[in-house]
Amino acid sequence: MLVPVLAIGGLGVVAVIGVVAAFVITGWIGQPIPVLGFEQTFDQPIDFPHTIHASLKQLDHVPADGGTMEGLGLDCTFCHRTVTTQANAGIPPVGFCATCHQVIGAEGNPQLTILRDAADIVGDDGSQPVNWQRVHRLPDHVRFIHEPHIRYLTQNPSQVEGTTDGVTEGPSGVCSTCHGNVAAMKQVEQVESLKMGQCVDCHRDNGAPTDCVACHH
């Protein structure tokens, strides 16, 4: 009699542990920034290639007229204009993209057609703004300001981790600390967890305030 009772009891314990584990795991995945899923990619309305724009290296992308192609090596701040002065890095308006792309890029390129439609270059047939999906998103109770971080890392290059395709100078040289090598990403992914522990570790190492209201207010 004893053996079946023990077996049932053991099964019960296993079941309880399983339920608790499932609860914890789903709760962990369901965090504002899913830790296990932060490498997820987003379906952007336009397949914007950071490689062509930001990289300085030779690309595996083949242009329409054949041959090889190197990246433009634009500074991050060329498009993300407010990153050195404001809280948000900022997404450029489509009109800004169109300053180049009304001339550059093949006529029938479907991705550029979306952009030109949005910038209202090709007719005004009900064009829609580009609804970019945000990749790096912090919870609402976090007040992250780009400006002091760019300023500090620019002044203290030894604290910079990684590079944006080998760039070490200027604002582009510091972005990789939190964003990884975006210039090598065909589609932008979040490569760091960007959870509070990571923020506090870096703040502590660099003598930045670890007071709660530095970020939460």
Partner 1 sequence: MATAEFGSHNWGMVVDVDKCIGCNACVIACQAENNIPLNTQDRVERARSISWIRVERYWEGDFPDAKARFIPIMCQHCENAPCEPVCPVYATYHNSEGMNVQVYNRCVGTRYCANGCPYIVRFFNYWEPVWPKSLRNHLNPDVTIRSRGIMEKCSFCVHRIRRVSRKARSEGHEVADGAVQTACSSSCPTSALIFGNFNDPNSKVSQMKEDQRHYTLLDQFGTDPNVIYLAKIDADKKVGAGEAASHG
Point out which residues bind partner 1 (CB under 8 A). 139-141, 143, 145, 147-148, 151, 209, 211-214, 216-217
Choice between 131 and 217, CB closer to partner 1: 217
Residue 141 CB, nearest distance to partner 1 (Å)? 4
- Please report where in the chains the tokens 């009304």 appear, as a residue: 102
Residue 211 CB, nearest distance to partner 1 (Å)? 5
Take residue 3 and report the two structure tokens written for it: 């053996």
Choice between 125 and 217, CB closer to partner 1: 217
Residue type, 141: H
Residue 203 CB, nearest distance to partner 1 (Å)? 11
Q: How far apart are CA 177 and CA 39, in angstroms?
A: 16
Choice between 182 and 199, CB closer to partner 1: 199
Residue 24 CB, nearest distance to partner 1 (Å)? 19
Other beta carbons within 10 angstroms of residue 146's beta carbon come to 20
Take residue 184 and report the two structure tokens written for it: 């090598």
Residue type, 53: H
Q: How far apart are CA 132 and CA 135, in angstroms?
A: 9
Residue type, 13: V
Choice between 75 and 147, CB closer to partner 1: 147
